[in-house]
Amino acid sequence: MTPTAGTVRVLPDAAALFLAAARRVVELGQAAIAARGAFHLALAGGSTPAGLYRLLATPAFAGQMDWHRSHIYFGDERAVPPDHADSNYRMARDTLLAPLAISEAQVHRIPTEHPPAEAAAAYSRCLRQHLPPEGFDLLLLGMGADGHIASLFPGSAALDQRNKPAAVATHEPKLAAAGGVDWRITLTLPTLNQARHTLLLVSGAPKADVVRHVLRRVAGAAPLPVQMLHPAGTLEWLLDREAARHLDLPVES
C-alpha cells in the first residue's frame, strides 16, 4: 500500500467496523496511559463515528480503559453553538462524553460561542497548551465523498495553513464565495499529520468511489485532502463492505 493509504481493513458492515474501531481505541488508549499516563484522543465529527462512540460507552468497553486519564479534542467543528443539532461536540457529548462521565476539564471543546476566527485562535492556544509535542495518541477521522477530512475541503485555503494548529475553513468554498455561510473550525494538516496513530472510519456505498480513487491513486489527479495525510505515525483505514465495494480486498469475518 502507498504511504498515504496506510493499512486497509474491510469489515462486513458498520457494526463490525465500530467493533474493530472500539477495540483499537481501547488498545491504543491503554498503551498511551501505560506509557505516558494520559490518552490524548481527537474525535471525528459527522455521523459515522456516533456508532463507535455509543459502543465505547457500553459496559462491554467502558471499563476497559481509564477514561479519566483521557484528554478529548475535536478534529473540527461547525460554527454553531455547542448545543446545536449540527455540533460535533454535542454529538460526542450525547454518545460518549456524558455516558462515560468524562469531566469538562478533560474535554477541549472548540469554543464556537465566539466568532470563527476567535474560536480558531482560542483552539490553537488550547492545543499548544494541552497537546504534547508528539501530538495526539490517536486521531479519529471520517472522510467525505469528496475526499475531505475534518473540515479540510478540496480547494480550501486552510489546506495551506502550516503555522497554526487550527484554522477557519468554509464548507463548499464556492458557496462561501457566493456569500454562503457555512463556517468551520478545523485542525490543520500539520496537526493531523503529527498523530501517533490515525484511524480513518469510512462507511457506506456513497464513499465507495472516493475510496477507489484514493486507494488506487489515480495518476495525474490533483491530490484530495485525504491524500495529503502523511501521518508521522500509523494510518489505518477501517472500511465496511459497502465503502470498499470497488476494491478487491478480503472482507474480515
Select 76 or 240, whichever has its Cβ closest to ligand 6PG.
Answer: 76
- The residue at minimum Cβ distance from ligand 6PG is 142
d(CA 233, CA 239): 19
CB of 22 to ligand 6PG, least distance (A): 16
CB of 63 to ligand 6PG, least distance (A): 27
Residues that bind ligand 6PG (CB under 6 A): 44-48, 75-76, 88, 142-144, 148-151
Select 29 or 75, whichever has its Cβ closest to ligand 6PG.
Answer: 75
DSSP 175-243: HHHTT---EEEEE-HHHHHT-SEEEEEE-SGGGHHHHHHHHTT-TTPPPPGGGG---SSEEEEEEETTT
Select 10 or 44, whichever has its Cβ closest to ligand 6PG.
Answer: 44
CB of 48 to ligand 6PG, least distance (A): 3
Select 33 or 124, whichever has its Cβ closest to ligand 6PG.
Answer: 124
CB of 159 to ligand 6PG, least distance (A): 13
**Surface-to-core class of residue 34, CB atoms within 10 Å of its CB (0-12 exposed, 13-18 middle, 19+ buried):** exposed
d(CA 231, CA 84): 32
